[in-house]
Structure formats: structure tokens, C-alpha cells
């Protein structure tokens, strides 16, 4: 499942995110959602979240 719909993402979910500095390469980072930062219901680049380890990125996959 991709991470473009806010309703699909919940706190505690394991996700793969792309960080701002990795957008060109597409490198994904795995983590657990701590906070959902995007307020809109849908975002075409992915919902922005903060992971438990403090990394901020846009969700590309929900595990």
C-alpha cells in the first residue's frame, strides 16, 4: 500500500519513508510512525510523518 492517503497511516505503523535528502536517489528508511505531520487527507508525494527515531520523511510504503 502506498502512503498517499492519511487514513491508511496510523501511529505505531511500520512504514518505509523517503527523507528530503534522499528524494533524488529514492533511498527508503524503515521505521515506526510516532507523529503524522501532514494535515490534508491526501498528498500525492506521500504523507509526511515523524518516526520514533526522530527521522522525518514522506511515506512511500506501509508494511
pLDDT in tens, the chain (63 residues): 889 999 999 999 999 999 999 999 999 999 999 999 999 999 999 999 999 999 999 999 999
Q: What is the DSSP secondary structure assignment for residue 5, as one 8-state letter?
A: B
CA dist 36 → 11, 24, 25 (Å): 7, 23, 24
| Domains present along the chain, CATH in parentheses | 6-62 (2.30.30)
pTM for the model stands at: 0.91
Amino acid at each position: 500500500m502506498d502512503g498517499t492517503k492519511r487514513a491508511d497511516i496510523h501511529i505505531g505503523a511500520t512504514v518505509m519513508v523517503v527523507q528530503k535528502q534522499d528524494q533524488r536517489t529514492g533511498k527508503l528508511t524503515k521505521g515506526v510512525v510516532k507523529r503524522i505531520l501532514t494535515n490534508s487527507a491526501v498528498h500525492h508525494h506521500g504523507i509526511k510523518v515523524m518516526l520514533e527515531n526522530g527521522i522525518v520523511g514522506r511515506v512511500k510504503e506501509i508494511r
